[in-house]
Amino acid sequence: MTYKEWESCLVEELKGLPTAECLKITDYYKEMYGDRLDAGMSEEAILAEFGSPKSCAEKILAENAVENAESKGNKKNAPTVSNNDNSQVANNMRRIVVGILFSLFVGIPLAAVLVSIVVALGAVCISGTAGIVASLAYLFIGAFTATGAGIAAHIGLAIAAMGICGFLGLGGYYATKYCAIYSYKLMKTIYKGILK
Amino acid sequence: MDAQLKKGLLEVCVLAAIRKEESYGYKIISDIAPYIEISESTLYPILKRLEASGAVTTRTEAYNGRLRKYFRITEVGKAKIQDFVDTMYEFKKISDFITQGGGV
C-alpha cells in the first residue's frame, strides 16, 4: 500500500466528519509522513507505524465523540462511536435544511444578481469588441469614399471610436472575468460559513 | 495505566515538550516517546484539544516544499503545567502516606 492509498482509505473511514475537519486530519498525517520520510524511514515502515486507516479513524472518531459529549455536558452517558454517528447525521440534516432555506431566500436571489452583473459586463465586452470591428469598417469606407479634408475627419473619427470601443472591450473583459471570480468566491465563502 | 489518567498525562507531556520552544508534531512525538507511549492518532486529538482550550497557538510554515504546523505554548498552557506539578505534589504526600502504612 502506498501513502496515497492509505490516505484515501482514511478519508473513506472518516466520511462522517465535516470536510474541513477531514482535511485537517489528512494534512496532519501528510506532515507526519513527510517528517518521517525526512528522518530516513521507508514508506512501508511509516505506514506500519501509523497503523491501519481504520484503526486511526476509529481513535479519532472515538475522541471526537468524547469531545462532543463533554461539550454538551452529557457526562452521564458513556460516549461511543455510534453516538458520534448520530450527532453527525443530525448535523448533516441541519445543514441540509439550513442550506435549502438559505438558498431559497438568499443564495439563489444573490446568485441571480451576481450572474446578471457578470452577463451585463460580458455584454459590454462584446459590444466593445463589435464596436472596434464597426469602427474599422467605417475607417476603410470613409478613407475610400470621402474626399479632401473629409478623409482626415473620417479617419480621426474612426480612430477615436476604436479607442473608446477598445477601452470598453478590454475593460469589459477584465470586469467580467474578475466579477465572475469574486462572485464565485463570495458565494463559496457564504455557503462555507452557513454550512459549517 | 488508566485511560483517563494517561490522557491527562499526555496533555501535560505535550505542553512540556513545547515549553522551551515551539515544536511540531513529529518532534513532539519523538521527545515524548521515550517516557510514555504515544502515536500519531493519539497526538492529533490532544493537539486539537489544547488548541481549542487556548493552551497552545499554532502557525504553519513551509518546510522542504511542504507545510509544517508549529505549536507554541501560551500562558494558559504554562498554568496547566503548574497545576499538574501542584497536583503531583499532593499525590506524592498521599503516596508517602499509603506506602508508609497509613501513618502512625
| A55 touches A37 (CB < 8 A) | no
Is B62 a residue whose pLDDT tops 80?
yes
Separation in Å, CA of A137 to nearest CA in chain B: 55
Q: Going by C-beta distance under 8 Å and a sequence separation of 6 or more, which residues neighbour residue B26?
A: A31, A32, A35, A36, A39
A30: chain B residues, CB-CB within 8 Å = 66
Q: Is the pLDDT of residue A81 over 50?
A: no
CA nearest neighbour of A121 among A110, A107, A113, A158: A113
B interface test, pick of A28, A50, A52 with most B CB neighbours within 10 Å: A28
Does A76 have pLDDT greater than 60? no
- The predicted pLDDT at position A122 comes to 87
Does residue A75 have a pLDDT over 50?
no
Percent of chain A with pLDDT over 70: 89
Q: Which tens digits make up the pLDDT trace of B21-55?
A: 999 999 999 999 999 989 888 899 999 999 999 99
Average pLDDT of the residues of chain A? 83
Rounded to a whole number, what is the distance in Å from the CA of B1 to chain A's nearest CA?
18
Percent of chain B scoring above 70 in pLDDT: 96
Question: What confidence category does residue A157 fall into, taking pLDDT thresholds of 50, 70 and 90?
Answer: confident
C-alpha cell at A28: 496532519
